[in-house]
Structure 1
Amino acid sequence: MTLLVLGLVVFIGVHTVPMMTGLRDSLRARLGAGGYRILFTVVSLAGFALLVYGYGAARAEGPPILYDPPVWMRHVTMLLMLPVFVLLVASGAPTGRIKKAVKHPMVLAVKIWAFAHLLANGDLASVLLFAAFLAWGVVDRISLKRRPATLGGAAAAGAPSAAGDIVSLVVGLGLYLAFVFYLHELLIGVPVV
C-alpha cells in the first residue's frame, strides 16, 4: 500500500504543478519549455509506474474491504465508462461540438472514470486510487476556471468541426469495446464481461 500512496503523491503532485501558475512559470523560466515538459513527463511516468505497481501489489495482498457494492453496480460502471473513452479521444481530436461544450474533456473523463470505479470497487486500495483521482479532477476543474486562457482554450474557441466529433465518437466507442471485451482484462487483470 505504501508504493500506491507514494505513486499517487508523485503522480498527482506533479499534475498539481500547472494549477500553481507561479511555480509552473518559475520552472519553465529555469528549465525552458522543453526542459519543463521533459521533467514533467519523467516525474509523471515514475509516479504512474509506482502507482500501477503499488495498486497491483496492494490488491494482491488483499486490502481491507471498506464497502461491498452490489453486483448491479458494475453495470452502472460500464454505462458510465462509455462517455469516458469518447471524452478522452475528444481531448486530442480536432475541436468538435463535444470538445467545445465540455471545454476540458480529459478532466471530465478522469472524474467520471474515478467515480464509476468507486461505485464498483470497495477495497481500500481502489478507494484510495479512485478517490484521489476524483479529488484531483474536481480541484483541477476549479483551477482551470480561475486560470488565464491558454492556447488550448483559444483553439477550442473556434468553429467546431464535425470531423472532431466523428473521430471522438468512432474511436472512443471502438476503444470502449476493446476495453470491455479484451484490454481491461489484459492490462488490469480483471475481466469486464
Structure 2
Amino acid sequence: MLILIMGLVIFFCVHSVRLVAPEWRASNMLQNGAMRWRIRFGMITLLATAFIIMGYMQMRMAPVWLWFPPVWTRHLAGLLMLVALFFVGSALVPNTTMKKKVGYPMLIAVKIWAFSHLISNGNLADIIVFGSFLIWSIVSFAVYRRRDRKAGVVRDQESGVQFDLAAFTFAMVSWFIMVFYLHEAVIGVSPLV
C-alpha cells in the first residue's frame, strides 16, 4: 500500500502545482524554458504512474473487499467511459464545443473515469485510487472555474461540428482499443468479463 500512496502523493503534488502555485510555475517555465519544464513534469508523472500501477497491482493480489458491486455497474461503467473518452478527445482536439463551454474537459473526463470505476469495483485499492482521483478532479475543476470567473475569462474561440466529430471519433476508436485490448493488457482485467 505504501508504494500506491507514494505514487498518488507524487502524482497529485505535481499535477496541483498549477492549481496552488500558478505564479511559481509560470516563472519557473520562463526561467528554465517550457520544454525543460514539460520534460521534468513528464518524467515525474511517469514515475508516479509506475508507482501507482505497481502499488495497485500489489494490493489486488490480496484484495480487501468492501462491497461486491452488482453486474449492471460494469455495463454502466463501460458507457460512462465512452463519455469520459469523448471529454478526453474534446480536451485534445482544438476548438471543440466542450472546451468552449466548460473550459476543462480533461478534468471532467477524470471525474467520469474515476466515478465509473468506483461504482464498478469494490475493493480497498479501487477506493483509494479512484476515490482520490475523483476528489482531486472535483476540487481542481472548482478552483479553476472560480479562478476563471474571477479573472473574467471568456472562451470565444470558434468551435465547429468537425472538431466535435473528431473528438467523438477519438472516443469511439480509443474506447474499442481500451475495451478489447488495452485494459486487459495493462491492468490484467478485461472489462468484457
Tell me, in whole angstroms, the C-alpha distance in 2 between the residues paired with 1:25 and 1:93.
Answer: 24
Match of 2:66 in 1: 66
Tell me the amino acid that sits aligned with residue 101 of structure 2: A
Match of 1:95 in 2: 95
Match of 1:19 in 2: 19
Tell me, in whole angstroms, the C-alpha distance in 2 between the residues paired with 1:103 and 1:31.
Answer: 28
RMSD: 1.9
Shift of 1:26: 4.4
Match of 1:53 in 2: 54
Deviations 1:135-155, CA, capped at 9 Å, x for gaps: 110111012113359xxx77x
Given that 1:180 and 1:192 are in contact with CA atoms closer than 8 Å, whether structure 2 keeps it comes out as yes
Q: Which moved more, 1:17-26 or 1:47-56?
A: 17-26
Match of 1:35 in 2: 36
Gapped runs of 5+ residues in structure 2?
none
Given that 1:6 and 1:50 are in contact with CA atoms closer than 8 Å, whether structure 2 keeps it comes out as yes
Match of 1:160 in 2: 159
Tell me the amino acid that sits aligned with residue 173 of structure 1: M
Tell me, in whole angstroms, the C-alpha distance in 2 between the residues paired with 1:147 and 1:157.
Answer: 17
Tell me, in whole angstroms, the C-alpha distance in 2 between the residues paired with 1:39 and 1:179.
Answer: 28
Tell me the amino acid that sits aligned with residue 137 of structure 2: G
Tell me, in whole angstroms, the C-alpha distance in 2 between the residues paired with 1:147 and 1:34.
Answer: 26
Tell me the amino acid that sits aligned with residue 71 of structure 2: V
Tell me the amino acid that sits aligned with residue 164 of structure 1: F
Tell me the amino acid that sits aligned with residue 180 of structure 2: F
Match of 2:133 in 1: 133
Tell me, in whole angstroms, the C-alpha distance in 1 between the residues paired with 2:47 and 2:181.
Answer: 26
Tell me the amino acid that sits aligned with residue 172 of structure 1: A
Deviations 1:149-171, CA, capped at 9 Å, x for gaps: 9xxx77x5211022211111112
Tell me the amino acid that sits aligned with residue 174 of structure 1: V
Tell me, in whole angstroms, the C-alpha distance in 2 between the residues paired with 1:98 and 1:87.
Answer: 7
Shift of 1:112: 0.3
Shift of 1:98: 2.9
Tell me, in whole angstroms, the C-alpha distance in 2 between the residues paired with 1:188 and 1:75.
Answer: 18
Deviations 1:89-121, CA, capped at 9 Å, x for gaps: 111112122332232111000000000100011
Tell me the amino acid that sits aligned with residue 186 of structure 1: A
Q: Secondary structure at the match of 2:16?
A: helix
Q: Secondary structure at the match of 1:95?
A: coil
Tell me the amino acid that sits aligned with residue 130 of structure 1: F
Given that 1:94 and 1:161 are in contact with CA atoms closer than 8 Å, whether structure 2 keeps it comes out as no
Percent of residue pairs bearing the same amino acid type = 37
Tell me, in whole angstroms, the C-alpha distance in 1 between the residues paired with 2:174 and 2:54.
Answer: 24
Given that 1:90 and 1:105 are in contact with CA atoms closer than 8 Å, whether structure 2 keeps it comes out as yes
Tell me the amino acid that sits aligned with residue 170 of structure 1: T
Q: Secondary structure at the match of 2:94?
A: coil
TM-score normalised over the length of structure 1: 0.89
Deviations 1:17-36, CA, capped at 9 Å, x for gaps: 01022332343354333332
